[in-house]
């Protein structure tokens, strides 16, 4: 369907009737000052079209000296306005008549490119602003001090404070969208205000654990000590200690296993991370072992050993947590390798022997072929001895 407005067919020749003259009136004589009228230009004969009268209309000669009346230009329909098609009673729509140029009538001016519905660029530069888009100067990145200050003032996470300083979401908007989390941050910052030395992570830990600040800090200190001990053990080579125990197991050597209140004569069968397996005794937890040596070496050392009377009667207990033991970090003994040392064990036995090797969990004392195996958890006191002091069992 044609969206344009159907125009009415306009006759090709405009007919102007000549005014009738009254009887007895004289004919008008042109004055010498007036220019002579020009003869009218002959017009083509209009052809009948469908929907018009079949009888031809005879052209009437235009009067001389009379200017033709100009016809106003038809107003153009605004862009974007769709007009309903014009209904014609005939079965077939008439063909549009050819456009003719009428003297004295100006054609409609073309529409300006910036008018309504135009797809060209808007006035005022690119973007519709005077001068277009201007390159903005990038803002400097926020400093950690600025982020921390804004986070403490607004009670929000540091990432949200950083985002606001970078021009992203505002802190107050985040608090509205996350009311529950914002409430927890209020409690955390209130706790930090009561305890200035408390960090943000520690404050969250106190809030989530339900402990007091003192209890939480004590637990945190123990956790840090455990991590430090684990790291220290990983930095020490344990190959020599493992080789000694493997030789005792493969050679089925009879050993003396000293416990807190008694001693055992047995043969090692296997070693586990936390226990020994003996041939006759069975599985024995390593925490119960105070000392281990070959039977011949122990028989040589036993007569000259010193003992603490109090510890002999009541041996000290061993803490399950490594951080609560007197000695758990093996690196403290590395500087005394090859030196004479004095060890006081938890059942009162005092050893004064040269330090051969330091393992991750144990010490080796004595000489090659006469080793004495002492676990670190069995130590109560340790001190180096000068070379002038006589060695125990010498």
**Residues ≥6 apart with Cβ < 8 Å to 380:** 311, 316, 326, 344, 345, 346
Please check whether residues 244 and 204 belong to one and the same domain: no
Higher local confidence (pLDDT), 31 or 5: 5
Q: DSSP characters for 285-319?
A: EGGG--EEEEHHHHHHHGGG-EE-HHHHHSPPP--
pLDDT of 32 reads 47
Handedness of CA 339, 340, 342, 345 (dihedral sign): positive
DSSP state, residue 379: E
Residues 166, 129: Cα–Cα separation, whole Å: 25
The CA-based diameter of the chain, rounded to the nearest angstrom, is: 177
3-state secondary structure of 158: helix
Q: For residues 279 and 166, state if they share a domain.
A: no
Please report whether residue 202 resides in a domain: yes
- Tokens representing 157? 């996470």
Q: State the Cα–Cα distance between residues 44 and 102, nearest whole angstrom.
A: 13
Q: How far apart are CA 161 and CA 174, in angstroms?
A: 10
Reported confidence tier of residue 392, pLDDT bands at 50, 70, 90: very low
249 part of a folded domain = yes
Mean pLDDT computed over every residue of the chain: 76
Domain enclosing residue 154, as ranges = 144-210
Bigger pLDDT: 46 vs 233: 233
Q: Is residue 92 part of a domain?
A: no
Least confident of 1-10, 202-211, 214-223, 245-254: 1-10
- Predicted confidence band at 255 (pLDDT cuts at 50, 70, 90)? very high
Q: Kindly provide the b/e burial profile for residues 351-371, where b requires at least 16 CB atoms within 10 angstroms of the residue's own CB.
A: bbbbbbbbbebbbbbbeeebb
Which candidate, 317, 322, 338, places its Cα nearest to that of 380?
317
pLDDT band at 53 (very low <50, low <70, confident <90, very high): very low
**21 pLDDT higher than 60:** no
Residue 88 has pLDDT above 70, yes or no: no
Residues of the chain with pLDDT > 90, as a percent, come to 26
CB 360 within 8 A of CB 341: no
| 280 and 370 within one domain | yes
| Residue after which a domain boundary falls, among 163, 194, 210 | 210
Whether the pLDDT of residue 376 is over 90: the answer is: yes
Is 310 part of any domain? Answer: yes
One domain, residues 181 and 304: no
Q: Are residues 320 and 369 in the same domain?
A: yes
Tell me, yes or no, whether 317 and 358 share the same domain: yes
Alpha-carbon span 241 to 321, nearest angstrom: 23
Q: What's the pLDDT score for residue 391? A: 45
Q: Is residue 20, in this structure, part of any structural domain at all?
A: no
Give the mean pLDDT of 145-169: 90
Judged against a pLDDT cut of 80, whether residue 205 lies above it is answered with yes
Residue 197 and residue 243 in one domain: no
Looking at the structure, tell me whether residues 256 and 340 fall in a common domain. Answer: yes
Taking phi over 0 as left and psi of -120 to 50 as alpha, with beta for the rest, 366 belongs to left
Exposure class string for 310-340: b at 16+ Cβ within 10 A, else e:
ebeeebbebeeebbebebbbbeebeebeeeb
Cα–Cα distances (Å) from 307 to 80, 312, 331, in that order, read 110, 7, 27
pLDDT at residue 41 in the model: 58
Whether residues 253 and 365 share a domain: the answer is: yes
CATH code of the domain in which 378 resides: 2.30.30.100
pLDDT confidence of residue 394: 41
pTM summary value: 0.53
Q: How many domains does the chain have?
A: 2
């Amino acid at each position: 369907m044609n969206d344009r407005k159907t125009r009415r067919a306009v006759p090709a020749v405009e007919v102007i009737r000549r005014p009738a003259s009254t009887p007895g009136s004289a004919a008008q004589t042109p004055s010498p000052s007036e220019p002579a009228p020009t003869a009218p230009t002959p017009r083509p004969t209009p052809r009948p079209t469908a929907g018009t009268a079949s009888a031809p209309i005879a052209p009437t000669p235009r009067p001389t000296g009379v200017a033709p009346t100009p016809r106003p230009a038809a107003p153009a329909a605004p862009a974007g306005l769709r007009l309903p098609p014009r209904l014609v009673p005939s079965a077939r729509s008439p063909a549009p008549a050819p456009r003719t140029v009428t003297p004295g009538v100006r054609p409609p001016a073309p529409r300006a490119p910036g008018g309504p519905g135009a797809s060209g660029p808007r006035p005022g530069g690119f973007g519709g602003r005077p001068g277009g888009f201007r390159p903005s100067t990038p803002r400097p990145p926020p400093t950690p001090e600025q982020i921390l200050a804004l986070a403490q003032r607004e009670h929000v996470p540091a990432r949200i404070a950083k985002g606001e300083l970078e021009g992203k979401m505002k802190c107050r908007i985040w608090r509205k969208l996350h009311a529950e989390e914002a409430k927890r941050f209020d409690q955390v910052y209130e706790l930090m205000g009561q305890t200035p030395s408390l960090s943000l992570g520690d404050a969250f830990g106190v809030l989530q654990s339900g402990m007091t600040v003192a209890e939480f800090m004590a637990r945190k200190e123990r956790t840090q000590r455990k991590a430090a001990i684990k790291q220290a053990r990983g930095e020490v080579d344990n190959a020599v200690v493992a080789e000694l125990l493997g030789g005792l197991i493969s050679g089925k050597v009879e050993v003396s296993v000293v416990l807190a209140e008694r001693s055992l004569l047995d043969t090692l069968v296997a070693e586990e991370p936390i226990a020994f397996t003996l041939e006759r005794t069975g599985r024995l937890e390593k925490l119960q072992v105070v000392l281990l040596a070959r039977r011949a070496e122990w028989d040589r050392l036993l007569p000259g050993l010193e003992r603490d009377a109090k510890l002999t009667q009541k041996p000290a207990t061993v803490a399950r947590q490594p951080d609560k033991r007197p000695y758990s970090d093996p690196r403290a003994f590395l500087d005394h390798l090859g030196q004479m040392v004095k060890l006081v064990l938890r059942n009162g036995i005092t050893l004064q022997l040269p330090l051969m090797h330091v393992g991750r969990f144990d010490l080796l004392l004595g000489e090659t072929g006469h080793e004495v195996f002492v676990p670190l958890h069995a130590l109560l006191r340790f001190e180096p001895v000068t070379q002038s002091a006589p060695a125990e069992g010498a």
